[in-house]
Amino acid sequence: MKLNWENIDTVLIDMDGTILDLYFDNYFWHEQVPLSFSIKNGIDINAAKAQLKPLFKEMEGKLEWYCLDYWSDVLNLDISNLKFQLSDLISVLPHALEFLIKLRNANQKVFLVTNAHRSSLNLKMHKTKLDSYFDEIISSHDYGFPKEDQRFWIKLQKEHYFSNNTTVLIDDNVAVLDSANKFGIQHLIILSKPDSKLTEFMPCRYPDVVDLRELMIGL
């Protein structure tokens, strides 16, 4: 697809599943955490997955879902340390770095806007060295509300003013895009292949791209 970049001056871009491969997080939460939980509690991994599934489901879309401290307490596991142990799996999605360089050269204001806990955010920025490409790096934990909540956008706009009409949000989460749409952000793009290991693309009612290379036209 082609964005009219002449009408955009601010780019809000998500981290996991947008510039970073969501494979790391999917593997971590669906495989590594159940494995560690099963070992910790002396149960079969399938039993562990069965116990964890409703706990995870209950917190979807809430700040707790993204909070490593919360899950460390609930599961009695050192979630931050487990992520560190698997950090070699953290990787940048294809063409994401090229896109960020293009944005920098085009003098766009670029904000990394993520639901990731600061511990995870810092680990991933240290691993990928992408932090220098952003004017601001914002975690929803800084505001106490996830991006799915209108209060996040109110606080973000108050602290880092941007015009809804000249701002684009690029994300892989439909609920987040719905929230941004309700807030009034005019340009919304979804990444339809956030996990490089997935063979199917996510269907969505928002304009979608397979990777960020598609947004470089006219930039």
By the 8 A CB rule, do 1 and 38 touch?
no
Mean pLDDT score of the chain, rounded to an integer?
A: 94
Residues 6+ apart with CB under 8 A from 176: 14, 115, 147, 148, 169
Supply the pLDDT for residue 203: 65
Q: How many CB atoms lie within 10 A of CB 101?
A: 12
pLDDT, mean of residues 196-217: 84
Q: Which two tokens stand for residue 158?
A: 């108050």
The backbone torsions φ and ψ at residue 187, rounded to the nearest 5 degrees and listed phi first, read -110, 115
pLDDT surpasses 90 at 1: no
Share of the chain above pLDDT 70, in %: 97
For the chain, list the domains and their CATH numbers: 5-21+91-215 (3.40.50.1000), 24-88 (no CATH)
Supply the pLDDT for residue 36: 96
What are the pLDDT digits (tens) for 116-170?
Answer: 999 999 999 999 999 999 999 999 999 999 999 999 999 999 999 999 999 999 9
Residues 6+ apart with CB under 8 A from 36: 77, 82
By the 8 A CB rule, do 190 and 171 touch?
yes
The more confident residue out of 199 and 44 is 44
pTM for this one? 0.94
Strands 10-13 and 187-191 turn out to be unpaired
Supply the pLDDT for residue 61: 87
